[in-house]
Chains A and B, each alone.
Chain A
């Protein structure tokens, strides 16, 4: 089929949450003739909560440890080796906390191809949920964007009702939900579903 989409494939920023026809992106079950039209992640602002926690975790030893050492005179009871190992472990665990949260955001992705919609979710460690629906099976598509932050930063949820095995696909807190809905409608109208 002739490609009527005017948007040319473009290189995608590594941390991009919204990309139209991104170059260099492939997913597990992608077929040879299938092209990625939209690549989505949750809006980066959703990371603010764990980033704040991480900043606090990083700052706590800097401020709290000298006070604890001075006030409780811990060095008198606890050998210095334990304090060093505990401090190192604190930073290592914080690094692990940052890594796991970032990985969770980075790999929770929504993809719209010229044939289907794919929702890949990773919950906790080693649990993957992959759901998809052909564009031809979409029955209804809607979006919500409510609240001060979503309105200001233009992000929200997109709900796609389908006749496929997964009745509703939800794109959670994605940037530009209106554009996503329009793009999916456009792909359907131009007969992207084969």
Chain B
């Protein structure tokens, strides 16, 4: 195996590891959404809508980052 092929294999492994890391982070983002839902159930307050939107934006961004990694890595 020449150097170029070795480098290419190494980069593929790194890419897979990065994407696995991002997928794990998106699971965390899902948990944050679920946590916010649970808490909203306990406390009903008008200002929770903003928080609900923010946690969903966080989840969407984490999924978008996985897609970005797929495309540019």
Contacts and interface: CB of A to CB of B under 8 A. Distances in A.
Given A84-B72, A92-B25, A14 B36 contact: no
B50 to A, nearest CB: 7
A82 B18 contact: yes
A50 interface: no
Interface in B2-58: 11, 14, 18, 22, 25, 28-29, 31-32, 34-36, 38-39, 41-47, 50-51, 54-55, 58
Contacts of B58: 92, 95-96, 99
A14 B29 contact: no
Q: Name B's interface SS.
A: helix
Interface of A: 12, 14-15, 24-28, 79, 81-82, 84-85, 88-89, 92-93, 95-96, 99-100, 102-103, 106-107, 109, 120, 122, 125-126, 128, 130
Interface residues of B, number: 33
B25 A103 contact: no
A24 B42 contact: no
Given A14-B45, A15-B47, A28-B42, 17 more contacts: A14-B46, A24-B46, A25-B43, A25-B45, A26-B44, A79-B11, A82-B18, A85-B72, A88-B65, A92-B65, A95-B61, A96-B28, A103-B32, A103-B55, A107-B42, A107-B43, A120-B43
A181 to B, nearest CB: 23
Contacts, number: 87
A14 B43 contact: no
A148 to B, nearest CB: 31
Shortest Cβ-Cβ A-B pairs, 4 listed: A14-B47, A81-B72, A107-B39, A26-B44
Interface of B: 11, 14, 18, 22, 25, 28-29, 31-32, 34-36, 38-39, 41-47, 50-51, 54-55, 58, 61-62, 65, 68-69, 72-73
Contacts of B11: 79
